[in-house]
């Protein structure tokens, strides 16, 4: 999947945060907080060709039901799309 905007993933005080590289952009809307699974997805987003590959990555890394992972992944990708990041 393609990332449209430049963001850095940072871990600050135990929390994962997506921070834009350029905060002067007109479309800047603040930081995005991620959980551990979302951080894993973010780090592998460009390498994975589609949602099924990302889903496999999640279910192979964490003990989670595929149906739960699919819903959470969909929610996270929707959040990124709404922020015009992917």
When computed from its CA atoms, the radius of gyration of the chain, rounded to whole angstroms, is 13
Alpha helices in 1-86 (DSSP H): 36-44, 51-61, 66-82
Report yes or no: 41 and 73 within 8 Å, Cβ to Cβ. Answer: yes
What's the average model confidence in pLDDT over 18-38?
78
pLDDT at 22: 73
Residue 24 in this model has a pLDDT that exceeds 80:
no
- Work out the pLDDT band at 37, boundaries 50, 70, 90: very high
Each residue of 55-79: pLDDT tens digit?
999 999 999 999 999 999 999 999 9
The Cα 52–Cα 1 span in angstroms is: 11
Cα 82–Cα 19–Cα 56 angle in degrees, nearest 5:
65
Q: Which residue has the tokens 């959980």?
A: 35
Q: Global pTM? A: 0.86
Residue 4 in this model has a pLDDT that exceeds 70:
yes
């Amino acid at each position: 999947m393609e990332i449209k905007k430049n963001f850095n993933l940072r871990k600050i005080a135990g929390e994962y945060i997506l921070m834009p590289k350029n905060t002067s952009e007109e479309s800047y809307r603040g930081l995005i907080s991620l959980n551990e699974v979302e951080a894993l997805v973010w780090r592998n987003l460009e390498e994975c060709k589609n949602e099924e590959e990302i889903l496999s990555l999640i279910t192979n890394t964490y003990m989670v039901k595929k149906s739960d992972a699919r819903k959470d992944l969909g929610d996270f990708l929707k959040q990124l799309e709404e922020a015009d990041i992917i």
